């Protein structure tokens, strides 16, 4: 398999994780475990699963980890809605993060199609 650092989708997933950590620093301290930790955990799961999938021996295994990363991206999408609706994120920050999540999901979908067609 290839080095995960060479995948653009891994870079975008890492960028999303860094953004989530920056944005969630301002969440109330009483929300440290939920939604703060849930949002951080699900966002970091995206590049983590891409990296792990790159270390597997087959395209089928790689695709399985990409699907897991995609599920984590959908979880981030919901957690961002929750954070916005609870007043922890303003609309502008929400839209920036959401747009990045959408971009990651589209990239994952394309890579999944490529990997499964081989």
Q: What is the pTM of this model?
A: 0.94
Q: What is the dihedral of CA 12, 13, 18, 22, to 10 degrees?
A: 100
CATH of the domain at 48: 1.20.1440.60
Of 48, 49, 43, nearest to 80 by C-alpha is 43
Q: For residue 106, what are the domain limits?
A: 4-117
Please return the burial class of 96, using the count of CB atoms within 10 Å of its CB with bins 0-12, 13-18 and 19+. Answer: middle
Instruction: List, run by run, the mean pLDDT of 10-residue segments along the chain (118 residues).
Output: 90 98 93 86 98 92 97 98 96 98 98 91
Count of domains forming the chain: 1
Residues in the chain: 118
Q: Give the model's pLDDT for residue 118.
A: 63
């Amino acid at each position: 398999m290839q080095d995960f650092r060479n995948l653009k989708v891994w870079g975008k997933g890492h960028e999303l994780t860094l953004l989530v950590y920056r944005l969630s620093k301002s969440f109330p301290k009483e929300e440290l475990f939920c939604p703060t930790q849930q949002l951080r955990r699900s966002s970091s799961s995206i590049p983590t699963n891409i990296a792990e999938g790159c270390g597997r021996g087959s395209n089928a295994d790689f695709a399985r980890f990409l699907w897991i990363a995609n599920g984590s991206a959908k979880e981030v999408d919901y957690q961002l809605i929750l954070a916005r609706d609870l007043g922890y994120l303003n609309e502008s920050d929400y839209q920036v993060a959401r747009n990045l999540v959408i971009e990651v999901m589209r990239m994952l979908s394309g890579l999944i199609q490529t990997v499964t067609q081989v």
